Amino acid sequence: MDVKMPKLYIVIPCYNEQEVLPITAPMFREELRILTDAGKIDPDSRVLFVNDGSKDSTWEIIQDLNRQDAHFQGLCLSRNRGHQNALLAGLLESRDQCDITISIDCDGQDDIHAMEQMVDEYLSGAEIVYGVRSSRETDTFFKRFTAQSFYKLMNRMGTETVYNHADYRLVSARVLKEFANFKEVNIFLRGMFPLVGFKSTSVYYERHERLAGKSHYPLRKMLALAFDGITSLSVEPIRIITGIGIAISVISFLLIIYALVAWIAGRAVAGWASTLIAVALIGGIQLISLGVIGEYVGKIFLETKQRPRYIISERTEEMKEDAE
């Protein structure tokens, strides 16, 4: 009896990648061939690029690839929506056309050949396979320190993430159909997939230097991503603020008692410097607390609007037919 091989879609978000795309696209196509020849995936598997409102010729390159080889497919978002929304668009749009997806960035840093082990793990029963960096020896000290601090902070704040895992992962269509029930606008995919459940495992690989072009994730964006992840999936910051507020209230109450005792004993409470420091400290904590609370209120505001997370303006031919 013939065993049906799973149909794979490799989902790749792209933003201003005209320099690296001509280099990595043939690498993704070759990986499809390797997996197909090994009898691990269906020959009709595809590479799906998602153009995230690029300002360069990224979409034109994707269209050319599609005209040359139908294994390359593409979606073009109506505007730049950010890496997470672009990736989500590719995953949700392909979930009814395939059995498994593997998401990966197009810069060539993640080891493409790790897909072979990911597919093996899926064939062994795993529904989600996380691609995890085996080490960070190629990173600078600053990059390594900030990245490790990022994952530790996320876990400390109650956000369930896989250490040293970004968005390189295999996800089955079964998981994606359940994941589609998550309707929030503020998304942090690497913290959301563990919430879905199902059997999961990890594959370890070494990450390389970017093959061409510039990174689209400087420190500023990494910090913004971390903050979005924490505030989208955890209320721990508000609990910390509550704890700080209680601690300051207790200290203030003790200081009031001390001041009253000193006044009754006839000792003046002197020292404008200590008063100024106390006022400045409490004022700063209040402003920070208001900022954090305001971030949550802002996210609630965006969620209540229920705006679409992405809008697709163009598709390559096969994706048009699937949409119809």
Supply the DSSP string of 48-104, one letter for each residue: EEEE-S-SSSHHHHHHHHHHH-TTEEEEEESS---HHHHHHHHHHHHTTT-SEEEE-
Q: Residue 305 has what pLDDT?
A: 66
**CATH at residue 62:** 3.90.550.10
Lowest mean pLDDT among 174-188, 206-220, 280-294, 297-311: 206-220
> Alpha-carbon distance 48 to 145, whole Å?
33
Residues 101, 10: contact at Cβ < 8 Å? yes
Residue 24 in any domain: the answer is: yes
> Alpha-carbon distance 4 to 37, whole Å?
14
> Alpha-carbon distance 313 to 52, whole Å?
11
**Pair (170, 257) in one structural domain:** no
Residue 310 in any domain: the answer is: no
**Pair (208, 262) in one structural domain:** no
**Pair (228, 164) in one structural domain:** yes
**Pair (247, 278) in one structural domain:** yes
Q: Model's pTM, two decimal places?
A: 0.73
**Pair (52, 192) in one structural domain:** yes
The pLDDT of residue 7 is above 90: yes
Residue 173 in any domain: the answer is: yes
pLDDT tens-digit readout, 151-181:
777 777 666 777 777 788 999 999 999 888 8
> Alpha-carbon distance 150 to 291, whole Å?
20
Query: What percentage of the chain carries pLDDT values higher than 90?
Result: 24
Sheet containing strand 8-14, edge to edge, reads 200-205, 128-133, 165-172, 100-103, 8-14, 46-51, 72-77, 312-315
Residue 277 in any domain: the answer is: yes
* Total count of domains within the chain: 2
Q: Select, from the ranges 204-208, 215-219, 236-240, 243-247, the one with the highest average predicted confidence (pLDDT).
A: 204-208
> Alpha-carbon distance 123 to 5, whole Å?
9
**Pair (163, 299) in one structural domain:** no
Distances (CA, A) of 218 to 16, 64, 147, 214: 15, 30, 12, 10
Q: Residue 253 has what pLDDT?
A: 65
Within 8 A by CB and 6+ apart from 155, the residues are 161, 163
Q: Where does the pLDDT of residue 73 fall: very low under 50, low under 70, confident under 90, or very high at 90 and above?
A: very high
Residue 119 in any domain: the answer is: yes
**Pair (54, 26) in one structural domain:** yes
Residues 8, 31: contact at Cβ < 8 Å? no
The pLDDT of residue 146 is above 70: no
Q: What is the CA radius of gyration of the chain?
A: 25
**Pair (110, 249) in one structural domain:** no
Q: Residue 176 has what pLDDT?
A: 92
User: What residue numbers bound the domain in which 151 lies?
Assistant: 8-233+315-323
Residue 272 in any domain: the answer is: yes
pLDDT tens-digit readout, 182-194:
887 777 777 788 8
**Pair (98, 205) in one structural domain:** yes
Beta bridge partners, 102, equal: 10, 170
**Pair (122, 189) in one structural domain:** yes
**Pair (254, 212) in one structural domain:** no
Residue 26 in any domain: the answer is: yes
**Pair (163, 111) in one structural domain:** yes
Q: What is the DSSP letter of 160?
A: -
Q: Residue 1 has what pLDDT?
A: 39
The pLDDT of residue 3 is above 60: no
Lowest mean pLDDT among 20-29, 196-205, 283-292, 307-316: 283-292
Beta bridge partners, 128, equal: 171, 200
> Alpha-carbon distance 264 to 243, whole Å?
32
Q: H-type helices in the chain, by residue range? A: 21-37, 58-68, 83-94, 114-123, 141-156, 173-179, 189-196, 219-233, 236-264, 272-305, 317-323
> Alpha-carbon distance 191 to 84, whole Å?
11
> Alpha-carbon distance 182 to 196, whole Å?
9
Lowest mean pLDDT among 26-35, 93-102, 299-308: 299-308
How many CA atoms lie within 13 Å of 263's alpha carbon, on the beta-carbon side?
6
Residue 3 in any domain: the answer is: no
